[in-house]
Amino acid sequence: MMRMGLMTQGRGDTAKIMIRRCGDTEKIMTRGCGDTGTRGNGKTRQSQVCFAASPCLRVSASLFSSVICFFTILFFLVSCSSGAKGKQMMPKPVPVLAAAAVLKDVPVQLTAIGNVEAYSTVEVNSRIGGQLVLVHFKEGQDVNKGDILFTIDPRPFEAALKQAEANLVRDTAQLNNARQQEQRYQELVKKGYVSQADYDQMRTNADALEATVKADKAAVENARLQLTYCFIYSPITGRTGNLLVHQGNIIKENDKTIVTINQVQPIYVSFNVPEQRLAEIKKYSAGERLKVIASFPQSDGIPLQGELTFIDNSVDRTTGTIRLKATFANSDRRLWPGQFVNVTLNLTTRPNAIVAPSQAIQTGQQGQYVFVIRSDATVEMRPVAVSMTVGSESVIDKGVAPGEQVVTDGQLRLIPGAKVEIKVAQ
């Protein structure tokens, strides 16, 4: 540490300057320097400090200035080098996939999820009670209209028929005798051998027996009908389902369903569409039947074609939709009751529409847009108006001209004016 004492040009007042050096840092401390005060006579005293810097201070200041100058030059050199390097590195083109907007005829379609329904369904029940003695088919077997399905023990009904027929024979014989008696009494009453009351009684007996014979004939017909109920036949051509009552069981009259038969050729596909499209459907279906295409989810098979055959007579208030049905021939039986299928209803065809791939359409804060590739290989972000989507293509009403290239992949790395390089899809 170095201490220096200096005299001021006052009246003998002394100022001390303390210079301390710690490492490369120098500190100067002063005492009594620049003090001002007054004496009793009202005069002001001012101290002035005058000293000469030491050689050490001059060397430190010179070294500090040199270091500052060195770093300043270094900073300018680095800045110039960075600027030159930035000018040399140009941005690379962004690789993208592109496709051209084209003119083509586009079908106007409605899509929905449909449910396959049997063309007709019959639940087979027994109209009489008895023991199920024979089942003439296997579960899941195809049956034709008129094929016998079940046999219920017919013996009790055969006996009832015979009894009814016997009663009919008996009462018919009594009726014939009563008619003959009536004719005899009619002759006797004319001659006065019998009273009119006796004749009336004979005629009444004959009329009563005639009514009894009619009742017997009805009983015979009913017994025959009950006997035919012992043999259950298929009312439609279709496919049988699960057998709910097996051979040997006792069944009751109209107790429960024995088996269900579904007609699957032809077959229905029912689906719902928004009520806002009802006017279009009625308009285009007035002249001809509309074509309906059914396809299976996650299936590459050939879609099935049918026709729209039913429009419901009211709109569902809870969903705001209208129920439609399409009929399919189903010759290969690919459609099965209960299945869910993708349904496409073709309304009409829109000619000369501008079409672009749907993956080119992007959505932003201002709406839908596409990136159009200009002749200088830069892109332009252009708003578009999309009217409908058909499969993987979108119909653009405004914003893109036929033949223009639009970006279909790589949009996330693009900004308006960016340079692009069209790559080939693998």
Three-state secondary structure of 269-284: EEEEEEHHHHHHHHHH
What is the residue extent of each domain of the chain?
2-86, 95-106+352-422, 109-116+260-348, 124-251
Domain 124-251: state its class. Answer: mainly alpha
The fold for domain 109-116+260-348 equals Elongation Factor Tu (Ef-tu); domain 3 (2.40.30)
Q: What is the CATH number of domain 95-106+352-422?
A: 2.40.420.20
- Non-local CB neighbours of 406 within 8 Å, separated by 6+ positions: 98, 99, 100, 101, 356, 357, 360, 370, 371, 372, 373, 400
Per-residue pLDDT of the chain (426 residues), as tens digits, is: 444 443 434 444 444 444 444 444 444 444 443 444 434 444 434 444 334 444 444 445 555 566 566 666 665 554 554 444 444 456 788 999 999 999 999 988 899 999 999 999 999 999 999 999 999 999 999 999 999 999 999 999 999 999 999 999 999 999 999 888 888 888 888 888 888 888 888 889 889 999 999 999 999 999 999 999 999 999 999 999 999 999 999 999 988 899 999 999 999 999 999 999 999 999 998 888 999 999 998 777 789 999 999 999 999 999 999 999 999 999 999 999 999 999 999 999 899 999 999 999 999 988 999 999 999 999 999 999 998 888 789 999 999 999 999 999 999 989 999 999 998 776
Which burial class, exposed, middle or buried, applies to 319 when counting CB atoms under 10 A from its CB (0-12, 13-18, 19+)? exposed
Q: Residue 397 corresponds to which tokens in the numbers above?
A: 């009403």
Q: For 283-361, where are the E strands, in sequence order? A: 291-295, 304-316, 321-328, 340-357
**pTM higher than 0.75 for the full model?**
no
Same topology between domain 95-106+352-422 and domain 124-251: no
Q: Residue 32 corresponds to which tokens in the numbers above?
A: 């009594």
- Non-local CB neighbours of 378 within 8 Å, separated by 6+ positions: 417, 418, 419, 420
- Non-local CB neighbours of 233 within 8 Å, separated by 6+ positions: 146, 147, 148, 149
Q: Which helix (H) or strand (E) holds 382?
A: strand 379-383
Which amino acid makes up residue 339? Q
Q: Residue 416 corresponds to which tokens in the numbers above?
A: 């308006």
Distance spanning both ends of the chain, measured CA to CA = 80
The answer to whether 396 touches 388, Cβ cutoff 8 Å, is no
Please give the pLDDT value at position 199. 83
User: What is the helix, strand, coil percentage profile of the chain, to 5?
Assistant: 30, 40, 30
